Amino acid sequence: MIIGIGIDIIEITRIKKTLERQPRFSERILTEKEYKLFNSHSIDERRIEFLAGRFAAKEAYAKAIGTGIGSKLSWKDIEILPNESGKPVLKSNGSWTAFVSISHSKAYVVAQIILESSSS
Protein backbone atom coordinates (compact mmCIF):
# COMPACT_ATOMS: atom_id res chain seq x y z
CA MET A 1 0.00 0.00 0.00
CA ILE A 2 1.30 3.48 -0.89
CA ILE A 3 1.82 5.56 2.24
CA GLY A 4 3.47 8.66 0.79
CA ILE A 5 4.39 10.47 -2.41
CA GLY A 6 6.80 13.37 -2.75
CA ILE A 7 8.09 15.34 -5.72
CA ASP A 8 10.59 18.17 -6.05
CA ILE A 9 11.96 20.18 -8.94
CA ILE A 10 14.96 22.48 -8.79
CA GLU A 11 16.82 24.74 -11.18
CA ILE A 12 20.34 23.48 -11.75
CA THR A 13 21.67 27.06 -11.78
CA ARG A 14 20.30 27.57 -8.25
CA ILE A 15 22.39 24.67 -6.98
CA LYS A 16 25.42 25.91 -8.92
CA LYS A 17 25.14 29.41 -7.44
CA THR A 18 24.65 28.03 -3.94
CA LEU A 19 27.74 25.85 -4.30
CA GLU A 20 29.76 28.83 -5.55
CA ARG A 21 28.68 30.93 -2.52
CA GLN A 22 28.98 28.05 -0.05
CA PRO A 23 31.78 25.66 -1.13
CA ARG A 24 30.89 23.21 1.67
CA PHE A 25 27.24 22.99 0.57
CA SER A 26 27.77 19.56 -1.01
CA GLU A 27 29.31 18.24 2.23
CA ARG A 28 26.23 19.42 4.17
CA ILE A 29 23.77 17.75 1.80
CA LEU A 30 25.55 14.51 0.87
CA THR A 31 26.48 11.50 2.96
CA GLU A 32 30.09 10.32 2.86
CA LYS A 33 29.36 7.72 0.14
CA GLU A 34 27.35 10.22 -1.91
CA TYR A 35 30.14 12.78 -1.56
CA LYS A 36 32.65 10.26 -2.94
CA LEU A 37 30.40 9.75 -5.98
CA PHE A 38 30.00 13.52 -6.35
CA ASN A 39 33.78 13.93 -6.43
CA SER A 40 34.24 11.03 -8.85
CA HIS A 41 32.68 13.10 -11.66
CA SER A 42 35.40 14.94 -13.53
CA ILE A 43 33.06 17.33 -15.36
CA ASP A 44 31.71 20.22 -13.25
CA GLU A 45 28.30 20.19 -14.96
CA ARG A 46 27.85 16.51 -14.10
CA ARG A 47 28.83 17.15 -10.47
CA ILE A 48 26.22 19.94 -10.23
CA GLU A 49 23.55 17.69 -11.81
CA PHE A 50 24.42 14.94 -9.33
CA LEU A 51 24.16 17.31 -6.36
CA ALA A 52 20.92 18.82 -7.65
CA GLY A 53 19.47 15.34 -8.14
CA ARG A 54 20.30 14.26 -4.60
CA PHE A 55 19.00 17.56 -3.21
CA ALA A 56 15.69 17.18 -5.07
CA ALA A 57 15.31 13.50 -4.13
CA LYS A 58 15.94 14.20 -0.46
CA GLU A 59 13.42 17.06 -0.53
CA ALA A 60 10.90 14.75 -2.23
CA TYR A 61 11.49 12.08 0.42
CA ALA A 62 10.93 14.60 3.22
CA LYS A 63 7.65 15.59 1.55
CA ALA A 64 6.61 11.94 1.18
CA ILE A 65 7.07 11.26 4.89
CA GLY A 66 5.49 14.60 5.78
CA THR A 67 8.21 16.12 7.95
CA GLY A 68 10.35 18.28 5.71
CA ILE A 69 14.06 18.68 6.39
CA GLY A 70 14.65 20.09 9.84
CA SER A 71 14.56 18.94 13.43
CA LYS A 72 13.19 15.44 12.76
CA LEU A 73 15.06 14.66 9.55
CA SER A 74 18.47 15.79 8.34
CA TRP A 75 20.05 15.68 4.89
CA LYS A 76 22.40 12.91 6.01
CA ASP A 77 19.58 10.72 7.34
CA ILE A 78 18.78 10.04 3.68
CA GLU A 79 21.23 8.31 1.36
CA ILE A 80 20.66 7.68 -2.34
CA LEU A 81 23.18 5.44 -4.07
CA PRO A 82 23.05 3.66 -7.41
CA ASN A 83 22.61 -0.10 -7.46
CA GLU A 84 24.72 -2.28 -9.77
CA SER A 85 22.65 -1.22 -12.80
CA GLY A 86 22.71 2.49 -11.90
CA LYS A 87 19.17 2.77 -10.51
CA PRO A 88 18.99 5.16 -7.53
CA VAL A 89 18.17 3.37 -4.28
CA LEU A 90 17.16 5.31 -1.18
CA LYS A 91 18.28 4.22 2.26
CA SER A 92 16.82 5.70 5.43
CA ASN A 93 15.82 4.51 8.85
CA GLY A 94 12.13 4.37 7.91
CA SER A 95 10.09 1.18 7.93
CA TRP A 96 8.98 1.40 4.31
CA THR A 97 10.18 0.74 0.82
CA ALA A 98 11.08 3.83 -1.20
CA PHE A 99 10.89 4.03 -4.98
CA VAL A 100 13.08 6.79 -6.45
CA SER A 101 13.10 8.52 -9.81
CA ILE A 102 15.51 11.34 -10.69
CA SER A 103 15.47 13.06 -14.07
CA HIS A 104 17.60 15.87 -15.54
CA SER A 105 17.05 18.34 -18.33
CA LYS A 106 19.38 21.15 -19.33
CA ALA A 107 17.92 23.53 -16.76
CA TYR A 108 16.07 21.40 -14.18
CA VAL A 109 16.24 18.31 -12.05
CA VAL A 110 13.07 16.61 -10.87
CA ALA A 111 12.81 13.79 -8.35
CA GLN A 112 9.88 11.71 -7.21
CA ILE A 113 9.62 9.37 -4.25
CA ILE A 114 6.88 6.84 -3.64
CA LEU A 115 6.77 5.14 -0.24
CA GLU A 116 5.19 1.77 0.17
CA SER A 117 4.38 0.05 3.44
CA SER A 118 6.84 -2.77 4.18
CA SER A 119 4.15 -4.76 5.97
CA SER A 120 1.32 -6.33 4.03
Please list, in sequence order, all residues whose beta carbon lies within 8 angstroms of the beta carbon of residue 77, skipping any fewer than 6 positions away.
Answer: 92, 93
Backbone angles phi, psi at 105, to 5 degrees: -125, -170
Please list, in sequence order, all residues whose beta carbon lies within 8 angstroms of the beta carbon of residue 13, skipping any fewer than 6 positions away.
Answer: 107
Order the strands of the 2-11 sheet from edge to edge: 2-11, 108-117, 96-104
Catalytic, 76? Answer no
What is the CB neighbour count within 10 angstroms for residue 18? 16
Which one of the listed residues 17, 76, 104, 106 is annotated catalytic?
Answer: 104
Which one of the listed residues 17, 63, 87, 106 is annotated catalytic?
Answer: 63
Catalytic, 104? Answer yes
Active-site residues: which are they? 63, 104
